[in-house]
Amino acid sequence: MVYETSYECGRHPFKPDLLRGKWEQPHDFVFACLGLGLKLDVFSASYWYFYDMGLSGILPYYVYMAIYLVPLMVIHTFMGQFSSSGFISAFRISPFFKGMGYVSLALSSSVLTYYSLFASIPFLFAINSLKPTLPWSCEGIKDWPNLPNDTETICNISTSQVNESDYDNELFDMKMIHVPAMLFFKQQFEKLDMYIDNDVEYNMSFPIVWVTMLVWGLVSFIFYQFNEAPKFGKCLRYMVSITLGLLLVCFLRFLFLPGALSGIEHYVRPDFHDFIQGAASIPVFALQAFGAGWGSIMSLSSFNKFKTNIMSHSWFIAFGQLFIFMLFGLVSFMLLHYFKEITPENINRYMQSHWVLFIPSASVLASLEWANMWTFMYYTMLLMASVIVIVTQIFTILNSLFDEFEQLRQYKQEVTYGFIISLALCSLYFCSNHGVLYFTALSMDSLLVQALLHLLLLLVVLWIYGRERFQRDIKFMIGETFASWKINVLRFVAPLFLLFTLLTCVIVAFMEHSFSSSSIGFISIVLVITPLLYIPSYGVYIMFRNTGSFCMRFKRACRATDWYPLEMEDRQRYEEALGTNDLTHQLYEVTDDMVYV
């Protein structure tokens, strides 16, 4: 392989943004990536696939972490940090596959349209927690109009034995014990049933619409105040620290709930069935480490200084995200066992505790002393966690666009707010009962695309760009060697796990779509699946712009172009390290006086 400029390949040369800035402190990158671990949709409906695995199911995570999670983080971080550019321009490492960057752009944007739910729902409960009497408390539901008198809730659980012969179906005809917080959430819609599988009549929730607009207003305010990398990194540093602090406080308080200790015991108790279930499902969960879309770590690392130690940071981020997941898992288990503790042991009773981390938890908090304070604190924590994921995702998308399209750099403010407004309008669909019920199909589709992009990334970096060149660049950048055995594991073993993950995502996505509405299927095809066609299409376009035979066009389309460090001093040292054998040009600045093809 030789190294060329884009100009020599008949394309517009890449012009780096010298004013894009760096993180104020080196660990701002770590905090930003830890914030990606606050992606909480894993604890919603998709969490039912592996929520009961406990600590025994987490154990396989360490194997996956060593085999492909951390090494993949190193590759993502290497591409962003070495090129000082986002997830589109970083594919100068092999322009034929640059379409992966545009697929990532579409995927990250589509995920943000439904992810606003995880901010708007906590925002709704946080606002209502300011009322003197919580609407979902046992005192508050007495004032509800149109609530049938025979509605059995956790406030008036009957201790009488239910006659099993009264029900024909043991699973779906159980008598439901309602959680007031779930009833409160359903009241926001004309019709909403989280347990039916067929389409329901579409209707919007205007309270959810209002809080969703407030969420996007908050996001806009953050970008108005912290629009530059140093300021944004500082903002994330404090937001992540405060969120984790509030989570720890809530965790300690929940330890004193009835059934909390049995929940922790169930979480840490080894169980063979849970272990097998965890081993099969954790590869899917491991993809959550890369955020709501794909390429976020790549873009975040582009703001690192060139010598930042990406290997130690990748391990720290992986363990930090695992700690966050375990902490939220423990909170979920304690809440679930609280409901089990207060439910009579009748075979025909079923507690309505779906989405326990987000909705039923409000009724648990209502039972505490100083309920309003704890409710506001808990839902503020969930709100901040979701806003962190949203703003981080938008930040990486915008900077990737500005890196790739030079003409947009002078309109940063207009592009930023235009993009946020577009996301806000698209998110209105998920303020409906269909959006709340069926968004998990889009979530699983996004994980499917993530697994495919990771497979292609291994092909691009370790096979097309090459193992030796990758090791050489890592050595040049941080002074450490990426061991050959790790690369061989990534080349030959990790793809097997990713293929298994891809197959699992296909199966689960098929199940989700079989229960969702046709509109969600259409959205998935347009926003998630169709963009995959851009990868081969862009590759063919790049080949068309080159000259020579088919094989020569393909080879030139796969060569790294404009692949060098941003800083002139590092760039000159890189040229000296490479020598003249790998180069067909001098690494120089391309000025506006050049003629572009």
Cα gap 460→220, rounded to integer Å: 36
Angle at 229 between CA 223 and CA 230, to 5 degrees: 110
Dihedrals φ, ψ of 354, to 5°?
A: -65, 145
Dihedrals φ, ψ of 204, to 5°?
A: -90, 155
Altogether, the residues listed in the chain come to a count of 597
Tokens of 67: 């085999």
Tokens of 276: 């097998």
Provide the residue-wise pLDDT of the chain in tens; the chain has 597 residues: 445 666 555 567 788 888 888 999 889 999 999 999 898 877 665 444 445 566 666 777 788 888 888 999 999 999 999 999 999 999 999 999 999 999 999 999 999 999 999 999 999 999 999 999 999 888 888 777 767 666 777 887 765 544 444 444 444 456 677 888 888 888 888 765 554 444 567 788 899 999 999 999 999 999 999 989 999 999 999 999 999 999 999 999 999 988 888 878 777 776 666 666 666 677 777 788 898 888 999 999 999 999 999 999 999 999 999 889 888 888 888 888 888 887 766 545 556 667 888 888 999 999 899 999 999 999 999 999 999 999 999 999 999 999 999 999 999 999 999 999 999 999 999 988 888 888 888 888 888 899 999 999 999 999 999 999 999 999 999 988 898 998 999 999 999 988 988 888 888 888 888 877 788 888 888 888 888 899 999 999 888 888 888 888 898 889 888 888 888 888 888 888 777 545 444 444 434 443 333
pLDDT at 588: 42
Q: How far is CA 77 from CA 81, 309, 403, 587, in A?
A: 6, 10, 16, 23
HSE-CB at 546 with a 13 A cutoff on CA atoms is: 25
- Positive or negative, the CA dihedral 211, 212, 215, 221 is negative
pTM: 0.90
Task: Return all residues near 235 (Cβ < 8 A) that are at least 6 apart.
Answer: 222, 225, 226
Structural domains present in the chain: 23-131+203-520 (1.20.1740)
Nearest Cα neighbor of 497 from 283, 314, 332 is: 283
Cα gap 96→99, rounded to integer Å: 8
Cα gap 240→488, rounded to integer Å: 35
| Helix, coil or strand: residue 434 | helix
Tokens of 258: 């009835």
Q: Is 435 annotated as a binding residue?
A: no
Q: How far is CA 420 from CA 42, 134, 145, 424, 552, in A?
A: 24, 33, 38, 6, 43
Residue with tokens 């000025």: 591
Task: List 429's β-bridge partners, or say none.
Answer: none
pLDDT at 141: 82
Dihedrals φ, ψ of 3, to 5°?
A: -110, 135
Q: Contact, 46 vs 444, CB < 8 A? A: yes
pLDDT at 382: 95
Give the per-residue SS3 of 99-117. Answer: HHHHHHHHHHHHHHHHHCH
Query: Among the residues of 367-493, which ranges form H helices?
Result: 371-404, 412-426, 433-458, 467-478, 484-492
Tokens of 390: 């949203």
Cα gap 74→80, rounded to integer Å: 10
Tokens of 504: 């699992």
HSE-CB at 6 with a 13 A cutoff on CA atoms is: 23
Dihedrals φ, ψ of 234, to 5°?
A: -65, -40
Task: Return all residues near 74 (Cβ < 8 A) that are at least 6 apart.
Answer: 310, 311, 314, 474, 482
Cα gap 182→179, rounded to integer Å: 5
Dihedrals φ, ψ of 561, to 5°?
A: -125, 140
